[in-house]
Amino acid sequence: MSTSTDRTAFAHKYGPWAVVAGASEGLGAAFARGLADRGLNLLLLARRPDALEAVATPLRARVDVRTAALDLAAPDLADQLARVSDGLDVGLCVYNAALSRIGSFLDVPLADKLKIVDVNCRGPLIAAHVFGERLVERGRGGLLLMSSLTAFWGSPLVATYGATKAFNLSLGEALWYELGPRGVDVLVCCAGATRTPGFERSSGPDGPRAMEPDAVVAEALQALGGPPSAVPGGLNKFAAFVLGRLFPRKRAVALMGSQTARLHARD
């Protein structure tokens, strides 16, 4: 946001409180910073209370920040989200949390795959329902779901993760159509490689080029209120265009698999 007028308009529509699910590091922490810069109070959610406090502490000089340590795969997630946000006028929900395992589909334990589905699919579905009802009732606000370039093609060696991100893309685009006329902006941000702690752990120092989290967040928040989905970063937009428009689908899938295999070889 470039001016105080822009920040005021953003805070009026999407404030006074924003919920960020998966806020303990990386993109989630960047969303917390970006939303605090825009004057929104924050409810930050993740499993690790110490990591949440590390994100929250420097922001409390600017805005009100609350944290809640909870498991986004919990069976009673809907009740927990309602409880921790009770009494807060939530105008924006950002669902950033995600699990991923790199490896052959059959080599990843079934329990791990189901946990990925719980966090990456069931979690945003519940968050969209719980906060979507409240946003429609107030007549304004937004939902922002983090997806990935893996949503556009089959993604070998992260098959379950890619499938969950395709779910988020489809869900978010449908909600954009349904909730937009009722005052709620919905955006699915399909990020490419991003320099988060998880990415650096999997790719190592010689991994592929990656965007900085704050840059991804800036583009995502700028795109909120526009088309149903957005790909941040010029290089990522180019890759999405080439793989989606110029390559046969089987070649796009093979390329995704070869790139992920290189990361897997570094583990």
Interval 48-64: pLDDT, tens: 999 999 999 999 999 99
pLDDT of residue 201: 59
Whether the pLDDT of residue 75 is over 70: the answer is: yes
Answer yes or no: is pLDDT of 66 > 80.
Answer: yes
Q: How confident is the model at residue 239 (pLDDT cuts 50, 70, 90)?
A: confident
Instruction: Report, as an integer, the average pLDDT of 190-209.
Output: 70
Across residues 198-202, what is the average pLDDT? Answer: 60
What whole-number distance in Å separates Cα of residue 146 and Cα of residue 189?
5
Element (H, E) at 112: helix 110-117
Residue 230 structure tokens:
């957005």
Q: Which of 1, 265, 20 is nearest to 142 (CA)?
A: 20
Please tell me the distance from the alpha carbon of residue 236 to that of residue 211, in angstroms, as a whole number.
9
- Please name every residue paired with 95 in a beta bridge, in sequence order, or none if there are none: 21, 145
Catalytic residue IDs: 161, 165
How many whole angstroms separate alpha carbon 43 and alpha carbon 65?
6
Name 260's Cβ contacts closer than 8 Å, sequence gap at least 6: 102, 155, 156, 157, 158
Is 204's pLDDT higher than 70? no
Is the predicted pLDDT of residue 219 greater than 60, yes or no? yes
Q: What is the mean pLDDT of residues 163-169?
A: 98
Q: DSSP code of 100?
A: -
CA pair distance 25, 39, nearest whole angstrom: 20
What is d(CA 182, CA 161) in angstroms, rounded to the nearest whole number? Answer: 31
Which range of residues forms the domain containing residue 124? 4-263
What phi and psi values does residue 25 have, to the nearest 5 degrees? Answer: -165, 175
CATH assignment of the domain containing 226:
3.40.50.720
Mean predicted confidence (pLDDT) in 68-84: 98
The band of 193, judged by pLDDT with boundaries at 50, 70 and 90, is confident
Q: For position 1, what pLDDT does the model report?
A: 46
Q: What is the pTM of this model?
A: 0.92
Query: Is the model's pLDDT at 264 over the cut of 70?
Result: no
Mean pLDDT of the chain: 93
Distances (CA, A) of 28 to 88, 97, 197, 198: 20, 8, 11, 12
The domain total for the chain is: 1
DSSP 186-226: EEEEEE-SB--HHHHHHH-TT----B-HHHHHHHHHHHTTS
